[in-house]
Chains A and B, each alone.
Chain A
Amino acid sequence: MRPVFFLIVLGGLLAALVAVQRPVPETDLFSAIPAGSRVPFAFPTEPELFAAKLAHGRLVPRRAIGLFGNSRSVMVGASELGAAPGRFFNYAVPGSSFRTSVALAEALAQAGKLPATVLVSLDHLEIQFDGNPNIRGAWGWLGRLARDVRIGLRRPDIDWRMVARVAWRHVYVGYHGLARYFNAEQLAAGIRWRLDGRGARAWWRGEPRADSAGYRRDGSRAEATSKLRRRLAPVGRAAPSVLMGYLIEDLRRLAALKNAGSRIIVYESPLHRPSAERLARRPSGHAVIMREAVLRACARLGLECHGNDPDGPLADAGGWLEPTHPPALALAAHLNRLMKRPRMGAARSGPAR
């Protein structure tokens, strides 16, 4: 054989592999889920879920309330929040960071579908979870990389090391975004989607059930009851990973979304009481500095931001999955309290009772 033939055929097959798996962004997977049921999807990863939630948001009427975040907020459904069907959608993407939430909200705003009230979860600053959005599409990826580098070079509070780190993280997620196309189960689902009349069911792993773990019609994800644990050891703090200059920049991007006529509420994700107390007793310097900087930025930008209250009622609620993953009902109650507060343009660091 001639190596050039091999390379041409290999290139063609790889392109086909990607093309077969493209349909997720075009399909509204959530509206097809029966009310009261849960469905596990055939894709477990961030880019596909991001695409699926964005596709849903674009295809349905604008919601009244949207919740953005990751696994620490994905469990909240309309029923926990007490919202009427169709008023609420959970846009949280497990495994993603604050930057992904901002990117998803921006994409919805571009489509004119940003919910009237946007609740955004910011991971507790002691557990420091950060990373660039992992979203499909090479051009979008390049655009985000170029934008972050450009911003980094312009802003005085972002030095070259931060720019290098954010650029490296873009390379990292770009590679992992590419790697996610190489998954037999996802490929099989893509082929099924094409063969079975292009319905959402092709992306379901199994039939909808009322008691299994999986996604609900409102974008929230329910865990199997067996996953609940009774005793939870306090969580330790993570190494600093949030790039402060870029976090402030992301807050600025969120604040700009108020122009779309939405109310934006940012809240620091709560912790289980033993963990919250442990970390509050001996807070780390970088978390304290970052929290102050975030609240200052929120005040300047007119964003409603709420720090975590270690003594709040949420910390004592039962049913925590893990010290950083609150129970859905208690978190929903917390979010309702935040929404009931009068709309304001200043940041709050105090408890949300």
Chain B
Amino acid sequence: MIFNDLAFLFIFLPGVLAAFFLPPLRRLRPWTLLVASFVFYGLSGLQHAVALAAGIAWVYLLSGTKGAEGNRWRLTVAIVFPALALVYYKYTGFLIAGVLGLDSATDGGFSLFRDVVLPAGISFFTFQLIAFAIDRYRGEIPESPRLGLFALYVSFFPQLVAGPILRYHEIAEPLHQLRSFRLSAETASRAIAFIALGLAAKVLLADTLHHYIVGWRGDPGGLGPVTALYVLFAYSFQIYFDFYGYSLVAIGLGLFFGFQFPDNFRRPYEALNPRDFWRRWHRTLSYWIRDYLYIPLGGNERYRRNIIVIFALCGLWHGAGWTFIIWGLYHAALVLGYGATSKGWDRLPRLVQTVLTFVLVSAGWTLFMFDFAGIAAFARSLIGLGSASSAGPGLEHWGFLALAASICFIPSFEAMARRAGELERASIIRAAGYAGLAVAVMVFIDRSQDFIYFRF
């Protein structure tokens, strides 16, 4: 199931909220959410729900029980199973075809390794499982939760499929207080605002941009330079609003059940440099990598090597393919390049720094859009060597891109959603605005696409 689906908005969410807040079921709230989360996930494939349950049981058995603290052997075994599952589901096809070049051996028939269906969000929940195991090993979670609460921490449906990637300590308190949680009108208002704004970002902005560029993306060598430039920046905003929208909805859903999820974005396209970008974009992944990879690898002591390693792995986390690894290395080069030139870079006017960072980051997204042949063709189009057979963007396209850019750079959705919690301020006007936004989302929801980050 996905958030941008009427079945979720009209059936699943009201049903879960009703069951959660029904007074006789108060004591069963953790179970209500756990069952709801597995239904949410299981509807997209029962075997994936089983894989998720197996990962939870395995890590809990080894890391959630007594004696996990400081036990390196248990940590290793605990991590190996979910890591292998991630490798099997996500990387086997790439290893066979992309690395070993053995794809022809299985051509034409079913292959246990090639025809694997990737469980949605496996990279996200695997990272949460690993984070829990490491935190237990380090003694940062002295008291292990009960199995049910641990399972809920990993599978909680608002963040299960595309984050934010949570650490156990971030939600331990609300997790234990589920039975006594009372939803205030202020919190409900903020939750509604976050969900409405998030869905609007996804359905009205990201999906419209997708609709505009999808035809051009299918013909990267047939574009004029202006069209190619349009595709480059439109995709940049599309992926931002797609993922940002998901994160806002997740935050809003979390609020309904008493959870305050961390912000996953802090206006990333206003970053002043590539290093700053990674402090603003997908923050929970950046911090996960910092705490569980970068620092254990030696941190700043072997700066260059570690930056290259963690960004290559970051690319690989995003997708099983050489383009994703190159994307990671590209960002490593940007961060290292910035480090080498920071004295000069930092003296540039702030606007120039922001524009430069935005352009460099946007150029990197081409590695998400195309394979290598497509990238080469697209690059030719960008410099005017494409066949320019496709008609270029019209006024409507440019107008919408300008609108998307304005929405990206001017208002703060988080601040708007927080203000929605002020009950007395322009209450009816605000309610009408958010209700109008929600209906607009519903009217366009039938052409909505899957969230891009579901693939990761």
Contact = CB atoms under 8 A, between A and B. Distances in A.
Contact of A2 (B423, B439, B447): B423
Contacts of A179: 6, 446
Contacts of B7: 175
B317 to A, nearest CB: 35
Interface residues of B, number: 28
A182 B445 CA distance: 7
A14 to B, nearest CB: 7
Contacts of A9: 428, 431-432, 435-436
Contact of B434 (A6, A175, A183, A187): A6
A182 B434 contact: no
A5 B427 contact: yes
B442 interface: yes
Contact of A182 (B6, B426, B432): B6
Task: Give the secondary structure class of A's interface.
Answer: helix
A10 B441 CA distance: 12
Contacts of A19: none
A9 to B, nearest CB: 4
A134 to B, nearest CB: 15
B110 interface: no
Interface in B49-100: none
A3 B439 contact: no
B1 interface: no
Contacts of A183: 443, 446
A70 B89 CA distance: 42
B192 interface: yes
Contacts of A187: 443
Nearest to A5: B431
A253 to B, nearest CB: 31
Interface string A1-43: 1110110111011100100000000000000000000000000
Interface string B1-33: 000001100110000000000000000000000
B438 interface: yes
B185 interface: yes
B188 A178 contact: no
Contacts of A184: 443-444, 447
A269 to B, nearest CB: 30
Task: Give the secondary structure class of B's interface.
Answer: helix
Contacts of B435: 6, 9-10, 12-13
Contact of B10 (A2, A5, A17, A178): A178
A175 B8 CA distance: 12
Contacts of B436: 9, 13
A8 B447 CA distance: 27
A18 to B, nearest CB: 11
Contacts of A3: 185, 188-189, 192
Nearest to B447: A184
Contact of A1 (B6, B11, B420, B439): B420
Contacts of A5: 427-428, 431-432
B302 interface: no
B305 interface: no
B431 A6 contact: yes
Interface in A116-145: none
Given A1-B423, A13-B439, A187-B443, A6 B6 contact: no
B430 interface: yes
A190 to B, nearest CB: 11
B443 A2 contact: no
Interface string A160-194: 00000000000000010011001110010000000
Given A1-B423, A1-B427, A13-B435, A6 B443 contact: no
Given A1-B427, A17-B439, A175-B7, A6 B189 contact: yes
Contacts of B188: 3
Contacts of A13: 435-436, 439
Contacts of B420: 1
A175 B192 contact: no
Contacts of A14: 439, 442
A196 to B, nearest CB: 20
A17 B443 contact: yes
Nearest to A16: B439
Interface in A225-274: none
Contacts of A2: 185, 189, 423, 427, 431
A308 to B, nearest CB: 35
B435 to A, nearest CB: 4
A182 B189 contact: no
A2 B188 CA distance: 9
B439 A6 contact: no
Interface string B413-456: 00000001001001110111011101100111111000000000
A2 B431 CA distance: 7
Given A1-B189, A2-B423, A6-B435, A182 B430 contact: no
Interface in B176-193: 185, 188-189, 192-193
A17 B443 CA distance: 9
B203 to A, nearest CB: 11
Nearest to B192: A6
A6 B438 CA distance: 10
A2 B435 CA distance: 12
A333 to B, nearest CB: 40
A163 B11 CA distance: 22
Nearest to B432: A9
A9 B428 CA distance: 9
A10 B436 CA distance: 7
Nearest to B187: A3
Interface string B204-246: 0000000000000000000000000000000000000000000
B8 to A, nearest CB: 12
A171 to B, nearest CB: 10
6 contacts: A5-B427, A9-B428, A9-B432, A12-B435, A13-B439, A187-B443
Given A1-B430, A182-B6, A184-B444, 13 more contacts: A1-B193, A1-B420, A2-B189, A2-B431, A3-B188, A8-B431, A13-B436, A13-B439, A17-B439, A17-B442, A175-B10, A179-B446, A182-B442
Interface of B: 6-7, 10-11, 185, 188-189, 192-193, 420, 423, 426-428, 430-432, 434-436, 438-439, 442-447
Give 3 nearest A-B pairs by CB, closest first.
A5-B431, A9-B435, A1-B430
Interface of A: 1-3, 5-6, 8-10, 12-14, 17, 175, 178-179, 182-184, 187
